[in-house]
Structure 1
Amino acid sequence: MKKISLLLVFVLIFSFTGCTKDETTKAVNEDVKIEETKETREYEPITFNYEIYGENYEITFEKAPERAVTLSQFMTEMLLALGLEDKMVGTAFMDNEIYPEFKEAYESIPVLSDKYPSKEVLFSVGPDFVSGWESAFNEKRVASATDMMDNGINPYLATSIGGSGSLEGVYKDFRDLGKIFAVEEKAEEVIKKMKTEIKGIQDKIGDISEEEMVKVFVYDSGEKEPFVVAGGGISGDIIRQSKGKNIFDHINKGYATVSWEEVVEKNPEVIVIVDYGDTDYDAKLNFLKEHPALQHIKAIKEERFVKVSLADMSPGIRNTKAIEELVKGFYPEKFE
């Protein structure tokens, strides 16, 4: 009987060990299959149609880019927000300091130029993707879109940079970039975070009728005539999302040149100053405060000024920050 019992014990032990081994092997195989599916998931080509300097282009991405170059701060930060720094081989044309959370990643990417790089410098890094402001796709600035395509480069033009740009356009651009670089889940994560943060900011001020909104003058530059943020484009939408009433909202383009007489006539309650370039915020502020024609407008008399960077007012990840700063400047009592 002892021999039979011992034999039964050994059979059970080996059976259990065999089952455990089989289950472990099965689990490992399933994990490998999941990883293989992620790596070998078929790329879905995506096509864009653009008009760039009067020429129509149809551009198809057949695979995710591996060597991206960004020729504007907003696009640099959009790709960094998607965690694509290892796919970037160059950046250029910064308006302001890099967004702090991207500083480390940004410093790992070569800077090709403070402004636009030459065509030779751009082509030397072998990019397969180039994006930025439309002006980059011009042989007088960098290279034409045709020249880029002839050299194996796919140009990408963001929806949100045009005169009809908006926050919804920014979300669309993130989704498009997510598809192009095969990081759709990350793109949705970025969009969700932006929407949640913006809603939280807007909820603090509650519902405000148009009559209750502060009248806002957004000054970009210009001394003889002011160059201003108008009603179109992402900058105009940022003012609307911040519950401000842009005094030049009726002009249906992103920026416009107006007259000082018009500014005086509309008597803004707050002046937003866009900070960038050689003429910094303080210089612009002093110019406005000392301008003879503006001495009697409400914003000057009450010294209500809000500073925003050009990078914050450009399309992209920083739009949340712009809205927060503007809302606090427009309705400070809501944040006391």
Structure 2
Amino acid sequence: MQQRAAITLALASLLAIGLSGCGASEAVETSPTSTSGQGSTTYPLTIDNCGTQTVVTAPPQRVVSLDQDSTEILLSLGLADHLVGTASWTDPVLDSLAAANSGVPRLSDNAPSYEVVLGTDPDFVTASFGRHFAQGGVASRERFAETGIGSYLSPTDCDNGISINGGGTRTHALTIDALYEEITELGAIFDVPDRAATLIDGLKTRAAAATEGVDFAGATVAFWFADTKTPYMAGGLSAAGLLAKTVDLDNVFSSSPEDWPATTWEAVADRDPHVLVLGDLQRDRFPGDRLDDKISFLESDPLTQTIDAVRNKRYIVLHGAELNPSIRFVDGLEKIQSWLREHKDEL
């Protein structure tokens, strides 16, 4: 498959596809993927993707997904046989996708090198976060294009044509529509639009059920992703900020436009949140990535011991992927709903 720069073409017709049910944690059960261009997508397909225009002349056959979130979407669309590499994982794969993922090579737990990616002979690269395409990342999108490799960046990481994780700053709050746009566009690129529609419908159905009756009545919250020294707490325009708004939690760092601003424990203690959402990361990149390390720190440090959520052990535990813009946002909502049912009287 060849890629080339071209003018944009809207995918409005695909975004308007009728939807029918399947859950986020379930791989879509369908017939094998069309690879001959005979399906619902008309090729060449031109996409304006976060400031980069790419022509897809046929469904990609050898794909490297640079992030767990992107990989789990592709697996959910039944595209495991197209994946020749994956990277940048924070958590174990969803149980329902484990069998499909077992045959996909893990190039790196974090970001792979450009040479490692090229070693898989890919014709397409996907990413959830634009840092992979920024200076110091895997390689720029232009560099991939020079070798005939197309690229795609999740719209959840894009604001006014600029990648947030590639050095930009959000000016608008993230909405769930950006995730649905990603699923729809990947469905179009790989000629499986019906699978994308089914996946989106399942997410919407589960999200509606997970938020029914959930109301924290403005209780305050902080979302801690990682690092005990300079903790990364979710800003108000981020995916975690979207979770907070959805269940009427008041994010104490909502004024920050950054997705995960690095702050201080003094700042957290000053805001004294009622609830702490803790990222349970299955990695060891920063101090306090893992849940046990987080709780041990919070309950032993003289300053953090004073925080209301710590004093009362009001912890909601979410995986890293559930705090990022991914199909796991609905798993996060379900866990928040479950926690509130058990602890509502404690607020």
- Is the helix fraction higher in 1 or 2? 1
1:100 corresponds to: 95
Aligned to 1:88: 83
**1:185 to partner: Cα distance:** 0.9
Which whole-Å CA distance do the structure 1 matches of 2:330 and 2:274 have between them? 23
Partner in structure 1 of residue 321 of structure 2: 311
8 Å Cα contact 1:159/1:165 also seen in 2: no
Q: How many angstroms apart in 1 are the aligned matches of 2:229 and 2:136? A: 28
Evaluate the alpha carbon distance shift between residue 196 and residue 50 of structure 1 in structure 2; reply closer, same or farther with a 3 A threshold.
closer
Give unpaired runs (5+ residues) of structure 1.
1-34
- Say whether 1:283 aligns with 2:293: yes
Q: From the superposition, tell whether residues 125 and 245 of structure 1 become closer, same or farther in structure 2 (CA, over 3 Å).
A: same
Q: Deviation string for 1:214-253 (max 9, x for gaps)?
A: 2111112233432201111222112222332211112122
Deviation of 1:331 after TM superposition, in Å, equals 4.6
How large is the RMSD of aligned CA atoms in angstroms? 2.4
Contact 1:160 1:233 in 2 (8 A): no
CA distance 1:42–1:228, change in 2 (3 Å) = closer
Partner of 1:200: 209
Judge conservation of contact 1:92–1:112 (CA < 8 Å) in 2. Answer: yes
Confirm or deny that 1:177 pairs with 2:186.
yes
CA distance in structure 2 between the partners assigned to 1:120 and 1:296 by the alignment = 48
Given candidates 196, 212, 218, the residue that maps to 1:187 is 196
Is the aligned partner of 1:154 residue 2:163? no
Is 1:241 the counterpart of 2:246 in the alignment?
Answer: yes
Q: CA separation of 1:266/1:65 partners in 2, compared to 1, >3 Å: closer, same or farther?
A: same
Return the alpha-carbon distance in structure 2 between the equivalents of residues 282 and 99 of structure 1. 21
Q: What one-letter code is carried by the residue in structure 1 that aligns with 2:277?
A: V
How many residues are aligned here? Answer: 292
Q: Return the offset for 1:266.
A: 1.9
Contact 1:88–1:109 (Cα < 8 Å) also in 2: yes
* 3-state secondary structure, aligned to 1:295: helix
**2:135, 2:260 → 1: CA distance?**
24
Contact kept, 8 Å, 2:223 with 2:277, in 1: the verdict is yes
Distance 1:118 1:301 in 2: 44
C-alpha contact (below 8 Å) 2:41/2:188 kept by paired residues: no
In structure 1, the partner of 2:19 is none
How far apart are residue 166 of structure 1 and its match? 2.8
CA distance in 2, matches of 1:122, 1:262: 40
Question: Which residue does the alignment assign to 1:232?
Answer: 237
Note closer, same or farther for the CA distance 1:334–1:194 as it changes in structure 2 (3 Å cut).
Answer: farther
Deviation at 1:309, TM superposition (A): 1.1
Q: Under a length normalisation based on structure 1, what TM-score does the superposition of the two structures give? A: 0.80
- Equivalent residue number for residue 18 of structure 1: none
Task: Please say if residues 214 and 330 of structure 1, whose CA atoms lie closer than 8 Å, have aligned partners that are also in contact.
Answer: no
d(CA) in 1 for partners of 2:311, 2:337: 20
Match of 2:55 in 1: 60
* Counterpart amino acid of residue 274 in structure 1: G
Amino acid aligned to 1:272:
V
Give the partner amino acid of 2:195: K
Please report how far the alpha carbon of residue 189 of structure 1 lies from its aligned counterpart in structure 2 after TM superposition.
0.6
1:322 equivalent to 2:318? Answer no
What secondary structure is seen at the aligned counterpart in 2 of 1:147? helix
Residue identity matched to 1:180 = I
Q: How many angstroms apart in 2 are the aligned matches of 1:245 and 1:87?
A: 42
- Describe the shift of the 1:160–1:309 C-alpha distance in structure 2 as closer, same or farther (beyond 3 A): same
The answer to whether 1:47 aligns with 2:46 is yes
- Measure the CA separation in 2 of the matches of 1:139 and 1:248: 28
Q: What is the distance in 1 between the residues matched to 2:203 and 2:331?
A: 10
Q: Which runs of 5+ in 2 are unaligned?
A: 1-33, 158-163, 165-169
Question: Partner amino acid for 1:182?
Answer: D
User: How far off its partner does 1:143 sit?
Assistant: 1.9
Structure 2 letter corresponding to 1:83? G
Q: Percent identity?
A: 27
Query: Residues 40, 141 of structure 1: CA spacing in aligned structure 2 closer, same or farther, 3 A cutoff?
Result: closer
Conservation of the 8 A alpha-carbon contact between 2:87 and 2:112: yes
Secondary structure of the corresponding residue to residue 117 of structure 2: helix
**Structure 2 vs 1, CA of residues 256 and 183 (structure 1 numbering), >3 Å: closer, same or farther?**
same
How many Å separate the matches in 2 of 1:159 and 1:129? 17
Judging changes above 3 Å, is the alpha-carbon distance between structure 1 residues 49 and 41 closer, same or farther for their aligned structure 2 residues?
Answer: closer
1:92 & 1:332 partners in 2: Cα distance?
Answer: 36
Which residue is 1:144 aligned to? 140
Q: SS in structure 1 opposite 2:321?
A: helix
Q: CA separation in 2, counterparts of 1:319 and 1:224?
A: 27
Q: Compare CA radii of gyration and give the structure with the larger one.
A: 1
